[in-house]
Amino acid sequence: MRVFICSLGNISMAIPIDLISHIILFNGKTEKAVDYNSENGNTYFSLPLFFNYPSEKIKHGIILKSSENSDAGEILKNKTILLTTEIEREIEIQDEKIFPVQKTLNHTQFSLLFKGLLFDSENQRMENIILVLNPDYFLLTYQGGTENDKNADC
């Protein structure tokens, strides 16, 4: 699976490329983990705020693919956009190297956010844990909700 890697504090996050429609530069400010813009119908998820890293600077917006078809002029309308730190690199992760999130976490929403974990190692020792994000969670969680639901803090 091809992914983009973004860092959040001490962890890295992998975002599957096959679920991404577009990437935009983001230079605005965000004060909420989840923000719904009623003017354009977009729902913005600030990943640094969502995962409690408020000091991380947001540099990119990742527009997720939706089931709705839109023409090129409608790129920034009615979309789900993940706001994240700088996209550091693109890598290929073999599926067999991704471990599922532990079953003990299944009763929490945390387990729904990730497809799995990857232990990125060099010279047979653990260097970094990469969380493989589940973009479907963001697409499905707020789809069809009310504006109050979309403005709720997580």
Q: Would you state the pLDDT for residue 67?
A: 54
Q: Would you state the pLDDT for residue 8?
A: 85
pLDDT under 70: residue ranges of the chain: 67-75, 101-112, 120-127, 142-154
Q: Would you state the pLDDT for residue 46?
A: 94
Q: Would you state the pLDDT for residue 148?
A: 47
Q: Would you state the pLDDT for residue 144?
A: 46
With CA atoms as reference, report the closest residue to 150 among 25, 40, 8, 17.
40
Q: Would you state the pLDDT for residue 73?
A: 56
Residue 152 lies inside a defined structural domain of this protein: no
pLDDT in tens, 33-64: 999 999 989 999 999 998 889 989 999 999 99
107 three-state secondary structure: coil
What total number of domains does the chain contain? 1
Q: Would you state the pLDDT for residue 95?
A: 83
The pTM of the full predicted model, rounded to 2 decimals, is: 0.74
Q: Would you state the pLDDT for residue 152?
A: 46
Q: Would you state the pLDDT for residue 151?
A: 45
With CA atoms as reference, report the closest residue to 4 among 146, 131, 127.
131
Q: Would you state the pLDDT for residue 21?
A: 92
Residue 88 lies inside a defined structural domain of this protein: yes
DSSP letter assigned to residue 102 = P
Residue 151 lies inside a defined structural domain of this protein: no
Q: Would you state the pLDDT for residue 106?
A: 54
Q: Would you state the pLDDT for residue 153?
A: 45
With CA atoms as reference, report the closest residue to 20 among 93, 80, 94, 95.
80
Residue 68 lies inside a defined structural domain of this protein: yes
Distance CA 98, CA 71 (A): 35
Residue 29 lies inside a defined structural domain of this protein: yes
User: Residue 51 belongs to what domain range?
Assistant: 2-144
Residue 115 lies inside a defined structural domain of this protein: yes
